[in-house]
Structure formats: structure tokens, C-alpha cells
Chains A and B, each alone.
Chain A
């Protein structure tokens, strides 16, 4: 079948403003939108710029706006788009991030927000570990590391894994699915009015560790999250949840994080720092 792909082009070095360019492409109905872009790039117009890698929705390179929706080009089939929206497929770069060229956006802000939540395990002291299978005879069992034992990964590698129940593991499973594609960041209506908002993905990444039983949790990340540009600007529009190609219930995770912060502050007789609340 033949479809028309209308792509927003823009090379800041050469163009005064973005413009649309139409390409007529021959595709199979079950092809991905990404296949159409690759066909254009390889055989019609080598100057078209977009990012891509895994081509099956796990690397997060090719989030873009396809017919007005934030989605991955490699997880969107031509037949689904055409059936619902007709044979003109229009493609634009993600919003809220500056365009570098055509469909490529500069992700610096997105990744610096990600980094700001300390997206790595800050392990608790005194976690239980197994003994580890270092000798053939050793059966796994649970021992408690003395509190004064050094807690670096190197010293712990001489022991087995931290013990974590399947129930505790399930508490943060949802958040581990994030591929940092920035579709949610583009979809979020809050970022239209507050570009300093940390954004949905960064909160998901914080939640990934806050709700992990092995992690020290909220406290080290409190300053970034309990902040007028942290979790509080979210107004529950659910646009992030709708956009997420990994079907993460992002809004729910943001609300869980909000509640945890409120509880933390209440327990200490403190006020949340949303820029509005006053101590009574």
C-alpha cells in the first residue's frame, strides 16, 4: 500500500523555521512507522534525521509524535494508524525539548532531571543476605551482616544476594519497566506552563528506588521531590500514563510518591514544600 508521510523538518543551521515535507512511501500494512522512516532515509531522502536502535520498543530511541500522539515509531504499526486516522501519517518531534534536527530532540534536560533523583540503589545498612554459593556444599541460608560490616558492593560480593521477598519485589516492579524514551515528558501538559517541572519519568525513576525494600528510600531524594518543581505540579491529567509505551501507570506512581511525602512530613509535624502550603 502507498501512504503519505508528512514529516516536520527543521535544521536549525539552515532553516529559519520548521516546515512540513511529504513523502509517498510504499509499505506493508503490518510495517512499523519506523520502517517507513527507514525506507525514506535509505531510498528517498538521506538527509532525514531521527534516532532509532532496537526497533521493537525496548531502547527508547524513537519516541515522536505520530498523528498527534506521543509514541514509539517502532511500536506503532502502519495498519493501526491508517485504520484509525487515514492514509496521511503526520510526524513531529517530541515537545518540551529543543529540536536538534528534524525528529531529533536535545535530551539534556530530560536526563539531568533523571540524574537529579539519584537513580541508583542507596542500600540500607544491615540488610540480610544469603551466604552465597561459593563452595559446592554451601546451602543458601539467611545471615545478618553485622551492622559494623563494610557495606560496599565489593565486600558484599563475598556474600550472597540481599534477601527480598517476592511481595517486596512486586512493590516497585512497575517502575523498573521505564526505558527513558521521554514520551511522557512530551505528553505532560504541566510542562507547557512550568518548564522547570521535573517531569513524570524522573518521578518514576525515583519511585523505582523509594519503594525498593533494599533502598534507604525517600529521605535522600526528598529535597528534589518535595519541591515546587518536584512532584507537586502534577495535576493528574493522566497524559503520561496514556502515552507510556511500556504501559507504566505513571500517574499512579506519582500519586503514591506524593502520599509517601505527605505522610513523611505529617509524621514529623512538617509542611510539604509545594510552594503553597503554610505551617499552621
Chain B
């Protein structure tokens, strides 16, 4: 079945819905998502949206932009960071007018709180910048944008998995999707396609990410020969619930929560004397892993799965229940702990990809030399780059509302004059062959062990601290798994609601992205932001102040033997036109 639209949005989280809302004002738009929109992972974001409203402390977008650049260890494109900070203010007011129920100040303004790395006047002291709705800000964004899409009659195709992009040269023609309900293939022909498929934290063993966060957009585009940018920069959030990875918002530390080691010491004072527990996430995660390696984790066994305590007991029950009610609920449900009475056991958890599909500030996909006409990306799957080597807390929500909105506006402009491209005759061929092979009657292994091995090698070898030997091991392991992937067969051969098939498609995306991540990480011989190498402990601006572009070589010929596709690396300049890179201390 073929559908025709001006624009198709793939993914129905914050970025996708905001873009759909903007684009559908003047264009015929469809939103295609593998989930019901309200299930998207934007809904799990807790702490807030950074925006210089200045409701409680004096604040300026310029300060927000500077913090973003410094937080990203100067790998941020600086003009993009200015746009991020300025548009954040507009987008927050706009969301509030759409009904987003922000928490309020005494004066009835949007309430704001402190967050890691957000400072007054270029690093002087923490500033209250994070606009929040208790500890469920993402949930409120997702609900509000979905509500507005309903109000504006946006067309949804729920539970459709996107399996391929159709290009005419470097110009978008459409996408190939699988309707999960029927097993039928639907082709969407469109002038513009936006990928807003979110993250891919499921490549790691301990992650805050949803099971659905499998990098479907970047996976599809990488296999079509589009390079991905800065994939070696993956953020480990310092405070995930022990073993499960469920996030404990940085807002807990924003409200005054303190990290403690096994002797009760508030150890962050030794690592970030000014910002303490509100230092950027990469530094706090490293501090925790350093404590653990020194035997100062709570168990004290120096193993990488040891943990520390996040102490909120001194905040009082009233603050806990009012400011972090959902966190309190998670702790009671999963740990049997009341955070008003006992400290929370936490460890770093894979949380956010700074890298992804390279775009400009209007969401248009470009690697700096080629522009893929009509192709867009926004949100976590994209890389503008405003996060550089390390994202600041709240800036994920800022990214998706600012660039989702901007991409939607640009799509509306673009489709007015653009023409539909011709569809290739055999657009669905690759996927049909793939599915036929999976159901060819041969016996093959379950995907379970592959999932497990991928997540374990990525966690152990491409984690908070990295070395050449470890990353080489990961590259080797993942490459083996990509070969084994070809042996998998579907146990479930029915067409309707075949989630076995969906699981294998997701695994394919994760394996390809794990491979690109590990290769990119091994390639970068310095430490910067979240990429921290024990064998190259210093930042090296002379050689490495540049973005990585990593793409599959010969993607078309390699379709016969996908695991043979090798990664080629190129570089792209970083925009440092506003602030000169300096050493990063807090």
C-alpha cells in the first residue's frame, strides 16, 4: 500500500510531535510511530527544561549557551548553542500556553530549579534555570504535545515500524514501514521525512532507556550510507537505581541531595569544589567510578557494578513528596526504600546519545558537504551538535522542543515548493528479502543471547572509563554478533502482531549502532567529555577538536552480506566562533 503526504514524521515523542504540530499547520503530515504516541520515552524525562526565563534568579540565554558549550567540553557548535538557548525561552512559553502544567513560584510564574552545570554569569555559581513540573516534566511535555496534535487533527499511524528510507540520489522519496497489526508493508511517499526516533541506550546492559529505545532511525539511515556524527560520546547518568538503571533525576541534587561513599563522605567536593554535586554528568559519573575503583563504593569490592549512596534524607518529607514524588514512588516500588528516610543506592546508567544523525539548526540532515534534500532529524537521534562531548541536564528536553519545533517550521516552508520524488520500483525489496529469509523454515537461534552479549560487552568495554584494549574487544565482540545475527530465524511466522520480527529489527539497529559507536570510540585518541580514556587522559584540541563522522562503506553492495559493511571515518569542523576553548573546571 502506498500513501502520499507532504511530510512524514517518524517517531511520536517530543521532537516528532512538536515538528508534526508545526508542519501540519500548512502541510499534509502523517506521524508514523512504532508505539502509541503517549508511550514514547520523552514521557520518562523527569527534571526539567533549561530556559533562561529568569523567574527566580537573573538569567540570560547567553549564559545558558555558554554553560552548554563548556559542559560539552567545547565540542558544541557554538552558534547552534546560542539558538538553543534563545529558542528555549520561546518554546517554554509556547508550551505553557498550550497547557503544560508547570510547577509555579509564589508569584504564579513557571518554577525553576538548579541543575548540573547551569550557572550564572559564565560559571560563577549555580542558577535556577530548569523549568519543571514536579519530577515528571517529560510526561507533561509528551501529554501536552499529544493533546495539541489531537486538537489539530494530526494524522497518526500507530504501531508502524519504519524499516527503510527511500532516496532518489540524495533526495528523499519516502519510507518503507511495517504495520505491526497486519504484517503488511506500507510505503509512505513524501517530500520531507523527519526522523525523531529517540535514543539507543538499549545497547548497554544498565540503562535508563525504554525497551523501545533501539535507534531505529539512525540504524536505517546508517545502512543507507548516511554517516553518523560523534557516536563515541555516550552519556552515563551518574544516578541510576542500582542494577535496574531507572533514572533518579538530577533534580534530587538540584534540590540539595548529596552523593556519599561508604564512609559517608560527600566526595564530590574533591572533584568539583565549586559546583559539588551539581557538576556536569560526565564528571560526576567518573567521580563515582573513581570512588568505586578505590574501594570506596558501598560494597567496597572495587567491581564496576558497585554503587554509592544518593542522600536526600536531610531534605525532609515535605520536599521529597512535593518536588520528587515519582522518584519516591520508584524507590518504594523497586527498592523498598523511602528516600525521606534512607539514602538511595545509585550507579551510573547509560542515558543519552550525544551523537546521532548530523543536522543543521533547522533539522536538515547534512554532514557539512552533502545535504540530503527533504531529509530531517530532531531530538536524541539527531546531532546538531548542541551537546558536544557531554550533555547538560535538562538540555535533552530543550533540544527536542527547540529543534523539533524548528524542523517542523522548516518542513512547512520546504514542502510548499518541493516536488515528490519518484519512488524506486522495488522499494520494499530489501525488507521483503530480509523477512523471507527469517521465515525460510530453517532453524535458527533465539535473539536473546545476542542481546545479552551485546549489552554486556558495550557496558564493560565502552563505558565510563575506556582503554584501547577494551574498545578493541568490543569492536571484535560486536562484529561477531553481527555475523551471528545472520543465522537468526523467526520462531513466530505469523503476520499479525509479530513482535518477534520487531525484536529482530530492533536488534539489527542496535548491533549496527554499537559497532559504529565502538569503532568511533576506539578511533578518538583523547579524553573529552563523556569519552574518557585511561590511555589518553588529556583533551587534545590540537588534533581532536573536531566532530567524528562514521558511516558504513559501500552500503549498497554490502546489503548482500550486511555484517561485512565496514565503518569509514571522516571529520567535520567544530564552530568555536563565540568562546575560545579553555580547560574545563568547576
Chain A residues with CB under 8 Å of chain B are 11-14, 30, 38-39, 41-43, 45-47, 49-61, 75, 77, 100-101, 104, 107, 111, 115, 118-121, 123, 130, 132-134, 136, 139-140, 142, 153-154, 156-157, 159-166, 168-169, 172-173, 176-177, 179-180, 209, 212, 214-215, 247
Contacts and interface: CB of A to CB of B under 8 A. Distances in A.
B98 A121 contact: yes
B490 interface: yes
Contacts of B106: 166
Interface of B: 35-36, 38-41, 43-44, 52-55, 59-60, 89-90, 92-94, 96-99, 101-110, 133-134, 136, 139-140, 143-144, 147-148, 150-151, 181, 210-212, 243-244, 246, 326, 329-330, 333-334, 446-449, 451, 490-492, 494-497, 499-500, 503
A62 to B, nearest CB: 10
Contacts, number: 192
A164 B39 contact: no
A56 B211 CA distance: 10
In the A-B complex, the 3 residue pairs with the closest CB atoms: A121-B99, A42-B448, A46-B491
B43 A59 contact: yes
B497 A104 contact: yes
Nearest to B45: A58
B89 A59 contact: no
Given A46-B500, A133-B52, A56 B94 contact: no
A115 B43 CA distance: 19
Given A13-B496, A157-B94, A177-B136, 7 more contacts: A53-B210, A77-B333, A123-B97, A159-B93, A165-B104, A166-B106, A214-B99
Nearest to A169: B104
A169 B103 contact: yes
B377 to A, nearest CB: 21
B150 A180 contact: no
9 contacts: A53-B39, A55-B210, A101-B497, A121-B98, A153-B94, A161-B92, A166-B104, A172-B101, A215-B99
B494 A54 contact: no
Contacts of A157: 90, 93-94, 97
A118 B108 CA distance: 26
B47 to A, nearest CB: 14
A55 B97 CA distance: 31
B98 A58 contact: no
Given A13-B494, A54-B44, A161 B244 contact: no
B108 A165 contact: yes
B447 A59 contact: no
A58 B43 contact: yes
A105 B317 CA distance: 39
B19 to A, nearest CB: 16
Nearest to B500: A46
A46 B211 contact: no
A133 B53 contact: yes
A132 B333 CA distance: 40
Nearest to B140: A176
A212 B147 CA distance: 15
A164 B103 CA distance: 9
A50 B502 CA distance: 12
A36 B451 CA distance: 16
